[in-house]
Amino acid sequence: MIVLRRAVKADLALIRKTKNEPGEQIESLMPDKEVRAWEYALLVKDSAYALHAFAQLYRDRVGCENGFDELKNQWGWGGFTTQDIERYQTSACAAALVYNWLSRHCRAAKPGVHMEAITSLALLLASVARAVKHAGHTTLYLTPMHAAKDKLLALIANILAALSHIRAVSE
């Protein structure tokens, strides 16, 4: 068995209950610089891999499973209720097609990082778009409406660069 420990990188707010009665008071504490929070993982090892490589194997496995979890919970693949096989297949194919395109755009927006639908859709869909057609070309103008406008503009620029690359190399 392997116990992995790593420091939590995000800032945390700690709470302390002052009484153990109904209507108890909760006190919010901002951690000092010396306070460190840790996350732990317990792995069961039965292979010849080196100890340091085993943690990466588990991280890769979790990365693969996140896609299936996301399809099941956020995209409705948890189960279809119709008995009509053609309607079932059409719904499943439509969800898979949208998921694949969104995953492609999310991967282009932040290469090397998986952006989950539940956390990234609100940011990526927080723009108003206007399509302008002129001389056989359609130009899409996006107006970000999210508070993280600068971050969103950087993500959109990455998606544009990826689509431009595809356009340049495709026949």
Tens digits of residue pLDDT in 75-116: 777 776 778 888 888 888 888 888 888 888 888 888 877 777
**Mean of the pLDDT values across residues 13-31?**
61
**Mean of the pLDDT values across residues 37-57?**
79
What is the secondary structure of 115-170 as a DSSP string?
Answer: PPHHHHHHHHT-EEEEEEEETTEEEEEEEE-SS-HHHHHHHHHHHHHHHHHHHHH-
29 Cα distance to chain centroid: 29
Is 157 a residue whose pLDDT tops 60?
yes
pLDDT at 134: 94
For residue 135, which amino acid is it?
Answer: A
Is 131 a residue whose pLDDT tops 90?
yes
Six token digits for residue 132: 């302008």
Instruction: Please tell me the distance from the alpha carbon of residue 125 to that of residue 121, in angstroms, as a whole number.
Output: 6
Confidence band of 68 (pLDDT split at 50, 70, 90): confident
User: Residue 91 belongs to what domain range?
Assistant: 2-169
Q: How many domains does the chain have?
A: 1
Is 6 a residue whose pLDDT tops 60?
yes
More confident residue, 12 or 61: 61
